């Protein structure tokens, strides 16, 4: 796996119906933008090969991932970010329930 090869540690992951949250620890010798580009590119190719019907979604225009990502080098509390990722799905469901009423 690419992450192992680059010594990137996946610390937290939350996969939802329409998006993915990851908390990764990237060593200083690895370019963040290069790592994200490879991860997004390889997973998109694999998803489109495994599920060709995804290419028929007109709103994706043959793009699987959104162009951006969040990076934090120092300053934010790592545990807060990991908790956010871990419980994001539960929080989004609660917000949807509130918006229904």
Active site residue: 59, 69, 84, 87, which one? 84
pTM comes to 0.66
Which residues pair with residue 13 across a beta bridge? Answer: 22
**Domains in the chain: how many in total?**
1
Task: Give CA torsion, residues 14, 29, 42, 63, to 10 deg.
Answer: 80
CATH of residue 12's domain is: 3.30.70.1290
Helix (H/G/I), strand (E/B), else coil: 95: helix
Inter-residue contact 64 to 48 (CB < 8 Å) = yes
51 is catalytic: no
Cα distance between residue 21 and residue 47, in whole Å: 17
Please report, in tens digits, the pLDDT of each residue of the chain (101 residues total).
Answer: 889 999 999 988 888 777 788 888 899 899 999 999 999 999 888 988 998 887 777 666 667 887 788 787 766 677 777 777 677 666 666 656 555 44
Residues 44, 65 contacting (CB under 8 angstroms) = yes
> Which residue range is the domain that position 34 belongs to?
2-100
DSSP annotation of 59 reads T
């Amino acid at each position: 796996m690419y992450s192992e090869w680059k010594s990137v540690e996946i610390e937290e992951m939350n996969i939802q119906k329409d998006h993915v949250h990851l908390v990764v620890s990237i060593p200083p010798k690895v370019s963040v933008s290069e790592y994200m580009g490879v991860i997004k590119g390889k997973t998109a190719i694999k998803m489109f090969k495994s599920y060709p019907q995804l290419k028929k979604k007109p709103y994706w225009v043959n793009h699987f991932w959104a162009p951006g990502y969040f990076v934090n080098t120092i300053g934010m509390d790592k545990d807060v970010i990991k908790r956010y990722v871990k419980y994001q799905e539960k929080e989004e469901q609660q917000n949807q329930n509130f918006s229904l009423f």
